[in-house]
């Protein structure tokens, strides 16, 4: 299952918290995401306090421990399950057909 993670700091972080978050990022880049997932892509939005990650994970629950750790270090993370267009389109078509029946 692929998930999109949006990470934003909660307010202005002191240097100590920024350093701890950078250590987590280094671990993820060196060893891969915790929980048996695979990092597909990671983007840092310049001039915005935003980091975007795309992960292939066994389940949504597998990323929660890392995100809880980041939350304790002042980073708010949003988890969005994603699907590739080829997989999502038949589902949209089915939903549209159901809507047209009513």
Residue ranges and CATH numbers for the domains of the chain are: 2-101 (3.30.70.1060)
Please compute the mean of the pLDDT values over residues 71-94 and round it to a whole number: 90
Q: Backbone phi, then psi, for 84, in 5-degree steps?
A: -70, 150
Does the predicted model carry a pTM greater than 0.85? no
Exposure string for 50-73, b = 16+ CB within 10 A, e = fewer: ebebbbebeeeebbeebbeebeeb
Task: Give the ranges where the chain is alpha helix by DSSP (H).
Answer: 15-31, 64-72, 85-101
Task: Report pLDDT digits (tens) over 37-57.
Answer: 888 988 999 888 899 999 898
The residue among 34, 96, 38 whose CA lies nearest residue 63 is: 34
The pLDDT of residue 76: 95
Model confidence band, residue 84 (pLDDT cutoffs 50, 70, 90): confident
Is 80:3 a contact under the CB 8 Å cutoff? yes
């Amino acid at each position: 299952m692929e998930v999109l993670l949006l990470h934003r700091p909660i307010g202005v972080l002191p240097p100590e918290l920024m350093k701890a978050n950078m250590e987590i990022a280094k671990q993820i880049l060196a060893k891969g995401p915790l929980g048996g997932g695979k990092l597909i892509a990671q983007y840092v939005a310049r001039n915005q306090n935003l980091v975007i990650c795309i992960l292939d994970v066994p389940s949504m629950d597998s990323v929660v421990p890392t995100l809880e750790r980041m939350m304790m270090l002042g980073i708010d993370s949003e988890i969005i399950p994603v699907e590739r267009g080829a997989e999502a389109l038949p589902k949209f078509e089915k939903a549209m057909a159901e809507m047209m029946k009513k």
